[in-house]
Amino acid sequence: MRIRLLLAVLFIPFCFYAQDRVTVKGRIINEKGEAVEYVQLGVPKLQIGTISTVGGRFEIDIPCDTLEFFHVSYQAASLPVTGPADDVVIVLKEQELPPAVSIGGDTVEKYLMRPGTKVMGGNSSAAISLRDDRYLGWELGSVAQVKKTFLVKDILLSIRENTIPDCVAAVNIYRIEGKKESFVNVLHKPVYFNVAVSDVPQDFDIQPEETILLEPGKYFIAFQIVGCDEQALKAFLAKPEEERKYWEFTIYSPLYFKSSYTREVALGEMKHYPFNIGIAVKGLEYL
């Protein structure tokens, strides 16, 4: 009998109640006036957050505080919230990351990271559910130790079952720096892929368009759900909480024993986690 473990972000109670929150609505664009898709936004210190739509639209209920915006391709932005707002426009500036430079030399094909050992011989699953929209953007991934310069060619993972319509997922890569483990993005643009609704396994071989060279160090390779059918999700969340069945908006993946991290909405604090969803990375190691 398959055991399904629900991976849930713990809600930390704060001294803020529903009546203390205000609704902020708006859209997010770049300096060219184009909509920016799947921007993470929220108040990280309170673990309140969500993700904008593919058209850059957002709506969030928060206490009067600073609303922060994050996207791989753009500089972070913030908005002081002093009351309700219906049509805020946030303009993001392009991220100024140094370009990846290809290097010469001999290489060898190898796996940088493998999934690990399956929990209960493969009879268990990780279940990432959108039964609350704050789980959009929740990151789960694995840690890789790079000993020699490594060129990422393929990121592989499997989804056992998916009930989220029009599901869009993303993979991100962070370099872990310092004793306090700060997480620094190394990508220039998001790596998105679609996950079809299916009750049979789906295997993904994601080949990033950009050149991703990892220098020696420690890295976190993360998976997250960033989008889905907006109307279907709204209808689902409009149900009383006790009537929401988590399996109606859930992705299941094989569960593995391997050091990993989770990060709650709006790029909050990373937390150690003893399991992962079996991400593998292969490419070329420079000799």
pLDDT at 280: 94
Give me the percent of the chain exceeding a pLDDT of 70: 88
Residue 92 identity (one-letter amino acid): L
For the stretch 37-73, pLDDT in tens is 999 999 988 878 889 999 999 999 999 999 999 998 8
Could you tell me which of 235, 281, 277 has the C-alpha nearest to residue 253?
277
Q: Give every CB contact of residue 234 below 8 A, 6+ residues apart in sequence.
A: none
CATH of domain 14-92: 2.60.40.10
The two tokens of residue 115 are 């999934």
For the segment 228-249, the average pLDDT, to the nearest whole number, is 88
Q: Which residues are bridge partners to 263 per DSSP?
A: 139, 270
Domain ranges of the chain: 14-92, 107-286
pLDDT tens, 123-139?
Answer: 778 888 887 766 788 88
d(CA 108, CA 119): 31
**Under CATH, what is the fold of the domain 107-286?**
Jelly Rolls (2.60.120)
Nearest of 183, 129, 119 to residue 9 by alpha carbon: 129
